[in-house]
Amino acid sequence: MSELINNAEKRKELLKHMILELHKGQAPEAVKEQLVRMMGKVPTADIVEVEQQLINEGLPQEEVLKLCDIHTQALKGIIDHGDIHKTEAGHPEQTFRMENRALAWEIDTIRKVFGEIESKSDGEDVSQLWIEIRNHLNALMDVGKHYLRKEHLLFPFLESHGINGPPKVMWGKHDQTRAKLKTALQAISTVKSITSGEAKQIINSLVSPAVESIEEMIYKENEILLPMCLKTLSDSEWHQIYQQSPEVGFCLYDPPMGWKPASVNDESTTIKDNKRIQLPSGSFTLPELQALLNTIPFDLTFVDKNDRVSFFTQGKERIFARNRAIIGRNVQNCHPPSSVDMVEKILDDFKSGKEDKCAFWINMKDKFILIEYFAMRDEAGGYLGCLEVSQDLTEKRQLQGERRILNYSNQGS
């Protein structure tokens, strides 16, 4: 092992060179062999820093995303986490790991079903085993909440520490995994009776890739993302993640409640100021204004003129997940990479004065959702920011005739 490189900068230069060799088509096993010979173990921090450097130096994010799994294959088994402390039950890092353990159990179980189907002759009916696969895929769909907490809680804090590239790449992998899962579940759900031969084809082409995508992400989180977060985030930041996690939900695991680091003073931040806010058409106390904004029957999100999320309402029935971690975050980072261009187009048109509003409507889980964007301007026409308004119009679209008598029912008459 006399060839080992001990200089930190030289190690990172070698790692960057080897990643670029992977991009040129070098075999992952050959790269791993050279890394082991020259570096021994590869520190987590080096992996993150080199990936960030490559993106900053112009390597397209799409290319990093495309070859992300190859990087992981080359680094598997040789990552050095360094000196990181073990977290206790209730700590968000521990919750992410426990969710990954639950996901891994589902993956192991569904693969056993794959094996049973593989052992059957092609013409044999495997409809009951097919139902088992569908049930396990439904359970794996819960990974969406796991990814949302990463995207809207972990990633903003990493960005505040200057770590931007890896979260963007990982979000892109989330999107790929979600798409594969959705396609696989649709294929499974449309088939009620199936032979082993037919099942094998769907498993190999659609189901296995979705399962493998989740499995690869589990490895990336446990070996790279979570150790990096433990070294980067403060106790206060972890506690904010803990407090806001229930707003998104958990994945196949219910963590214990009441976790709080000793260094954090957990005082509630309730509004106590009863002074009135005077507006041209009236006034409110702060509690009144908060209650009004959270009572209106639609979601509001305000993005200021610098493209930073400044406010969102917290009504009882939210349409899209929101949590306080997005406050102050660049709005482009609150959207998946595939939709950032459209977000920037809307904001550019609003800022230039070319447009003042735009609307989209979608069908989501049997609901009809209207999403509108409005440019907010001062009296002189200066751009103040963008207001997003989201409404569930499912019931309102069904209204007919008139209602002129008192009736507390939500149904039309």
CATH tag, 298-398: 3.30.450.20
pLDDT digits (tens, 9 = 90+) for 351-399: 999 999 999 999 988 899 999 999 999 999 999 999 999 999 999 999 9
3-state DSSP call for residue 372? strand
Q: How far, in Å, CA of 152 to CA of 25, rounded?
A: 34
CB distance 155 to 333 below 8 Å: yes
pLDDT digits (tens, 9 = 90+) for 135-167: 999 899 989 989 999 999 999 999 899 887 778
Contacts of 254 (CB under 8 A, 6+ apart): none
3-state DSSP call for residue 347? helix
Mean pLDDT of the chain: 83
Q: How far, in Å, CA of 57 to CA of 17, rounded?
A: 13
Boundaries of every domain in the chain: 8-80, 92-248, 298-398
Pick from 179, 125, 203: which is nearest to 337 by CA?
179
Flag whether pLDDT at 6 surpasses 80: no
Q: How far, in Å, CA of 397 to CA of 368, rounded?
A: 9
Tell me what pLDDT residue 270 has. 44
Partners of 282 in the beta sheet? 279
Helix (H) or strand (E) holding 390: strand 383-392
Tell me what pLDDT residue 72 has. 63
Range 92-97, long-range pairs (CB < 8 A, 24+ positions): 92/149, 92/153, 92/238, 92/241, 92/242, 92/245, 93/226, 93/229, 93/230, 93/238, 94/255, 95/245, 95/250, 95/253, 95/255, 96/146, 96/149, 96/150, 96/221, 96/226, 97/222, 97/226
Half-sphere exposure of 130 (CA within 13 A, CB side): 24
Any idea which residue has 């900068």 for tokens? Answer: 9
CB distance 362 to 193 below 8 Å: no
- A 10 A CB-CB count for 76 gives 13
Please give the structure tokens belonging to residue 323: 């949590």
Q: For residue 42, which phi and psi values (nearest 5 degrees)?
A: -105, 115
Q: Same fold for the domain at 92-248 and the one at 298-398?
A: no
Tell me what pLDDT residue 381 has. 94
CB distance 143 to 107 below 8 Å: no
Task: Compute the CA torsion angle 323, 103, 86, 238 (nearest 10 deg).
Answer: 0
Flag whether pLDDT at 247 surpasses 90: no
pLDDT digits (tens, 9 = 90+) for 313-330: 988 878 887 777 778 888
Distances from the Cα of 355 to the Cαs of 134, 202, 349, in angstroms? 46, 46, 5
CB distance 82 to 227 below 8 Å: yes
Better-scored residue on pLDDT, 257 or 405 = 405
Q: How many residues does the chain have?
A: 413
In degrees, to the nearest 5, what angle opens at C-alpha 410 toward C-alphas 404 and 413?
45
CB distance 338 to 175 below 8 Å: yes
Buried b (16+ CB within 10 A) or exposed e, 237-252: bbbbbbbbbebbebbb
CB distance 309 to 331 below 8 Å: yes
Please give the structure tokens belonging to residue 29: 């096993």
Flag whether pLDDT at 48 surpasses 80: no
pLDDT digits (tens, 9 = 90+) for 182-202: 999 999 888 889 999 999 999
User: Of 3.40.630.30, 2.40.30.10, 3.30.430.20, 1.20.120.520, which CATH number belongs to 92-248?
Assistant: 1.20.120.520
Tell me what pLDDT residue 76 has. 59
Percent of the chain with pLDDT over 90: 43
Any idea which residue has 């806001």 for tokens? Answer: 244
